[in-house]
Amino acid sequence: MMMPSMVTILRDFVIGLMQAPAGDVESLSRLWKGVGSAGLVVLPEYSNAVPGEDGGVEAAEWLSVLSSLARERGVHILAGVLEENGNCRYSSVVHVKPDGSWSVVHRKYMLFRALGVDESRHLCRGRNPPPVLDLGFARIGVIVCYEMRFPELVRNLALRGAEIIVVPSAWYPGPLKEDHFVTLARCRALDNTVYVAAVNQPAPRFTGRSLLVTPWGVTRVQLGTGPEYIEVRVEGSVLREARERLPVLRDALELADSTTRRV
């Protein structure tokens, strides 16, 4: 029996990586002028405001802007947003549809508490594991920033059918961290024969270098450190070839099954 994760729906489409600074409507508007044929545009984590820092834009106001932009271009948007809900603040990912409607699809499950940064001082942890979204032309797994360090999360998404892993990020600078961001994106792609679109906030507060990685672990495109936008084609044939020639997901299921039987 063919597992759901082995049946791909991915069609060729254009994805946009928007490396925009938090809450900067002027910069967002300027970068948005570059949106052309993208079917999906990805923004960084905390695209409206950074917790514990001054400035930024309230989530409701920011989402109104994103809704207008999505309708204007008829495009899907996945954006990291600092969300307030009751007594909690979350690092959330919002899916804005081409008609401008939106929903929160993920709240960061693994908070960053290392290298002098402790997100738990400002944020509550999400209660649910990362989701897989079916956009019709692609199945998208969604994680946030630090969650990319946990291969188990991405493997779970891939086995649930994800073909592209989208990673809105606000990657703080630190020892070798710029290299970690790129290396982790490539490893998660190769580990699971998925595309990875890791979209970071720009320097100097964060490290930039947003990138799209193919299911072969090859960097298809990578940005610099400043505000920037680029569009790149995602190809279904590349995913299918990688999974046919490198069937790690099939073998991972067999490994899990044999391990379970021995326990």
Residues facing 167 on adjacent strands: 198
Whole-angstrom CA distances from 258 to 2, 198, 251, 261 are: 18, 33, 10, 5
Confidence of residue 231 (pLDDT cuts 50, 70, 90): very high
Phi, psi of 239 (to 5 degrees): -65, -45
pLDDT value at residue 142: 99
**Tally of structural domains, the chain:** 1
The residue-averaged pLDDT of 100-125 equals 92
211 assigned to some structural domain? yes
Identify the band that residue 5 occupies on the pLDDT scale cut at 50, 70 and 90: very low
Cβ–Cβ < 8 Å for 200, 171: yes
DSSP secondary structure string, 180-239?
A: HHHHHHHHHHHHHT-EEEEE-PPTTTS----EEE-TTS-EEEE--SSSEEEEEEE-HHHH
Quick check: is 4 in a domain? Answer: no
- Residue 255: the pLDDT is 83
Cβ proximity of 187 and 150 under 8 Å: no
Q: Is position 195 within any domain?
A: yes
* Two structure tokens written together for 217: 């672990």
Chain segment 44-95, per-residue pLDDT in tens: 999 999 998 888 999 999 999 999 999 999 999 999 999 999 899 999 999 9
Assigned domain for 3 exists: no
Measured distance CA(80)–CA(133) in Å, rounded: 15
Distance (Å, whole) CA 257 – CA 263: 10
Residue 5 lies in a domain: no
The C-alpha angle with vertex 235 and arms to 234 and 237, in degrees rounded to 5, equals 160
CATH number of the domain that 157 lies in? 3.60.110.10
pTM value is 0.95
Does 111 score more than 70 pLDDT? Answer: yes
Domain hosting residue 137, numbered range: 10-262
Q: Is the pLDDT of residue 4 over 60?
A: no
**Structural domain contains residue 34:** yes
How far apart are alpha carbons 172 and 183 in whole angstroms? 15
Let me know: does 13 contact 138? Beta carbons within 8 Å.
Answer: yes
Mean pLDDT, range 166-178, rounded to an integer: 94
CA 72, CA 33: separation in Å to the nearest integer?
A: 11
Q: Give the mean pLDDT of the chain.
A: 94
Q: What is the pLDDT of residues 192-221, one digit of tens each?
A: 999 999 999 999 999 999 999 999 999 999
261 burial type by CB count under 10 A (0-12 exposed, 13-18 middle, 19+ buried): exposed
* 79 occurs within a structural domain: yes
Q: Three-state DSSP class for 246?
A: coil
Structure tokens at 98: 């081409």
Q: Which amino acid is at 48?
A: N
> Which region among 2-16, 18-32, 97-111 has the lowest average model confidence (pLDDT)?
2-16
Confidence of residue 2 (pLDDT cuts 50, 70, 90): very low
Is 25 within the bounds of a domain? yes
pLDDT at 262 over 70: no
Q: Identify the three-state secondary structure at position 83.
A: strand
Does the pLDDT value for residue 3 go beyond 70?
no
What string of DSSP letters covers 106-135? EE-SS--EETTEEGGGT-PPPSSPPPEEE-
State how far the Cα of 223 lies from the Cα of 242, in Å rounded to an integer.
Answer: 24
Report residue 232: phi and psi, to 5°.
Answer: -145, 145
Q: 6 pLDDT exceeds 80? A: no
Percent of the chain with pLDDT over 70: 95
Share of the chain above pLDDT 90, in %: 87
